[in-house]
Amino acid sequence: MASLDRVKVLVLGDSGVGKSSLVHLLCQNQVLGNPSWTVGCSVDVRVHDYKEGTPEEKTYYIELWDVGGSVGSASSVKSTRAVFYNSVNGIILVHDLTNKKSSQNLYRWSLEALNRDLVPTGILVTNGDYDREQFADNQIPLLVIGTKLDQIHETKRHEVLTRTAFLAEDFNAEEINLDCTNPRYLAAGSSNAVKLSRFFDKVIEKRYFLREGNQIPGFPDRKRFGGGTLKSLHYD
């Protein structure tokens, strides 16, 4: 198993949206009992069968890099996080379905990770609309995941999920909405599990089967900065 090829997937979003609980569920297939704040970055690993059930099937490691979610525009904050943005193959954007601001901040997170946060606000807004052109030529596979679905009253779900569907459309990404305390949302054969597998397959294809080789076009290597803590790396 140690010799398996691997891909690096960032897990980005505001503090408190449930990134650590999500990563634990994805990698351990268990609910995280007492989640704590992530300082720096925590890494866990999921084993994924690429193109499962086909002649091309092959097993890979998916490294999930859970980056601490302190939102800030200060250069020191971004410099600390920037070390984790090197050689990324995919990005999972996580937001809290009960917190609209965490959804809006996904634009900030994505622009920062894609090295396009070149304006003071970090988010380009015109009359309340985000500029989709910022993501039009993006080559990094994206997946949008909304958490805490269980905390939205049935009468409000349609309104909330309609809003988040437009969010995923902006990123040209599929979306998954779930409750990280209930593994059934990612049960084998479910639509969410299919979307997740499809996303990981796409990440692997971009990493290993593009003619250009390892580096995804449009995602240059970034300078390394000091700071940040790599808390854990599990190969189970």
Q: Give me the amino acid identity at 41.
A: C
pLDDT of 219 strictly over 50: no
Burial bucket for residue 9 (CB in 10 Å: 0-12, 13-18, 19+): buried
**What's the topology of domain 6-209?**
Rossmann fold (3.40.50)
d(CA 105, CA 96): 11
Residues 6 or more apart whose CB falls under 8 angstroms from that of 107 comprise 123, 124, 130, 134, 170
pLDDT of 233 strictly over 60: no
pLDDT of 212 strictly over 70: no
pLDDT of residue 213: 43
CA dihedral 134, 92, 16, 47 (to 10 degrees): -170
| pLDDT tens column, 40-77 | 789 999 999 999 999 999 999 999 999 987 755 556 56
| pLDDT tens column, 93-143 | 999 999 999 999 998 899 888 875 544 344 444 334 556 666 666 789 999
Summarize the confidence of residues 89-93 as an average pLDDT: 97
Choose from 1-5, 98-102, 169-173, 211-215 the range with maximum mean pLDDT.
98-102
| pLDDT tens column, 159-184 | 999 999 998 998 889 999 999 999 99
pLDDT > 70: percent of the chain: 74
Q: Give me the amino acid identity at 140.
A: I
d(CA 88, CA 203): 10
Backbone angles phi, psi at 6, to 5 degrees: -140, 160
pLDDT of residue 208: 94
Confidence of residue 224 (pLDDT cuts 50, 70, 90): very low
174-177 sheet: strands from edge to edge: 174-177, 142-147, 90-96, 6-12, 58-67, 41-50, 230-233
* Confidence (pTM): 0.82
Place of tokens 């796409």: 202
Handedness of CA 27, 28, 33, 36 (dihedral sign): negative
